[in-house]
């Protein structure tokens, strides 16, 4: 792999350990969990024991304390085998908000159980009328004594029915002058009275990842569950996504790499017109293009991760990585399935699963259209100032 010249020996070991786990524990059951649309609890528990869950959480809170690039190497290897089960790594999705903006008490209470496999969390931002347009959220939080009362709906929430708690973005000042003002983030316990969770089924891909709609009906949240500053929720959300979009880029690279390998091996044995498929110049051209685009995508993702490891993720670079890597995953999976021909259209061939998985990397945590908007804004110095003033905390 061309990436080897960048990686340290320790990083190569991390990558190899992740590949071994993925091929041994994920590959044999990938199709089963995809068909059942169930969270792979057995694989998740094994991943917890080996330290793959909560890799980026500091050691003082029970995690591995890995840097962004280190953790993303694991993401790529898991998604190279199966994106659905690979989403077990997102069982800590939402913890980043606490790491950046939470109090020490909040971190001590909520982070260790994630690393121990005793709890799962989620991040509730998206609403039926507000996805990539985060400033358009309507879920309200009204102060009532020493509590906040939440009302509204969130949708497409990862870990929705299995999470123990969520970080929830809510509108706390309905009279704010600007759309992105007057929002705050709260920790909401999943068993809170008035919180209803409904599993979303029949997704195109990542079916073994739990996704749900959350309905808040007078859900009461203690004032101490406010994360960060009241009214600063939008800026916190932007910082959150500027970080979490980097692993999504590596998800896409992993999917593309896995699809490429499946197609390459298939071409060695498939015969057509009396010749091996791999011997046709057109096939070779496909593989040449696919490999080039995968390596380019990987290096862009690595650059974004390395930038984040220096202290502050770059919004434009992160957006470029997610946009280009997602685009590459979709394109490579399309070409790979084409090489399989009609067999690729049959569910028993795993390439069809890769094809279905790939599209999500162009959708969640900011559509490709939104990523291009961020890229353009970064060129003209128009990335929201709320992001620029934030600094990575010394946790």
Active site residues: 365
- CA–CA distance from 45 to each of 69, 117, 158, 166 (Å)? 23, 7, 18, 21
DSSP 149: E
198 touches 212 (CB < 8 A): yes
- Where do we find the tokens 């709260």? 186
Our measurement of the distance from residue 117's CA atom to the centroid of its chain's CA atoms, rounded to an integer in Å, reads 19
CA distance 367 to 110: 30
CA 10-11-13 angle, 5° bins: 65
DSSP state for residue 26 in the 8-state scheme:
I
Distance CA 52, CA 122 (A): 17
Residue from 236, 306, 324 nearest 68 by CA: 306
The Cα–Cα gap between 157 and 127 comes to 9
Burial of 296 (0-12, 13-18, 19+ CB in 10 A): middle
Query: Three-state DSSP class for 156?
Result: strand
Show the DSSP H helices in the chain as ranges. 9-21, 30-36, 41-49, 68-81, 83-86, 95-101, 104-115, 233-269, 281-309, 315-340, 351-358, 368-379, 385-388
Q: Are 223 and 103 in contact (CB under 8 A)?
A: no
Are 268 and 340 in contact by the 8 Å Cβ rule? The answer is no
Q: Can you tell me whether residue 219 is helix, strand or coil?
A: strand
């Amino acid at each position: 792999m061309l990436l080897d010249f960048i990686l340290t020996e320790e990083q190569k070991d991390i990558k190899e350990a992740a590949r071994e786990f993925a091929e041994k524990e994920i590959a044999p059951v990938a199709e089963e969990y995809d068909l059942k649309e169930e969270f792979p609890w057995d694989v998740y528990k094994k991943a917890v024991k080996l330290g793959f869950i909560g890799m980026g959480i500091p050691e003082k809170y029970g995690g591995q304390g890995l840097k962004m690039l280190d953790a993303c190497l694991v993401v790529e290897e898991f998604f190279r085998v199966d994106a659905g089960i690979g989403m077990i790594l997102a069982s800590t999705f939402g913890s980043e908000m606490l790491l950046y903006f939470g109090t020490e008490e909040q971190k001590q209470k909520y982070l260790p159980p994630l690393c121990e496999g005793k709890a799962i969390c989620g991040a509730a931002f998206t609403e039926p009328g507000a996805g990539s347009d985060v400033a358009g959220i309507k879920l309200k939080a009204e102060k009532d004594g020493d509590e906040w009362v939440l009302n509204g709906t969130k949708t497409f929430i990862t870990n929705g029915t299995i999470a123990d708690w969520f970080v929830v973005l809510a509108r706390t000042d309905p009279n704010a002058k600007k759309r992105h003002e007057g929002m705050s983030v709260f920790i909401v316990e999943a068993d809170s009275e008035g919180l209803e969770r409904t599993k979303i089924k029949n997704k195109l891909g990542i079916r073994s990842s739990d996704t749900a709609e959350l309905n808040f009906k007078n859900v009461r949240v203690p004032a101490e569950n406010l994360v960060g500053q009241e009214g600063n929720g939008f800026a916190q959300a932007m910082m959150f996504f500027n970080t979490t979009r980097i692993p999504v880029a590596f998800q896409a690279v992993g999917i593309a790499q896995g699809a490429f390998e499946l197609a390459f091996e298939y071409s060695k044995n498939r015969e057509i017109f009396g010749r091996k498929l791999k011997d046709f110049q057109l096939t070779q051209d496909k593989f040449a293009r696919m490999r080039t685009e995968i390596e380019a995508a990987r290096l862009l993702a690595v650059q974004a991760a390395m930038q984040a490891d220096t202290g502050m993720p770059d919004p434009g670079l992160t957006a470029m990585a997610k946009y280009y890597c997602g685009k590459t995953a979709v394109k490579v999976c399309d070409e790979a399935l084409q090489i399989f021909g009609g067999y690729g259209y049959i569910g028993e061939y795993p390439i069809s699963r890769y094809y279905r998985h790939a599209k999500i990397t162009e959708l969640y945590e900011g559509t490709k259209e939104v990523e291009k908007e961020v890229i353009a804004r970064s060129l003209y110095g128009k990335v929201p100032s709320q992001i620029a003033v934030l600094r990575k905390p010394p946790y």
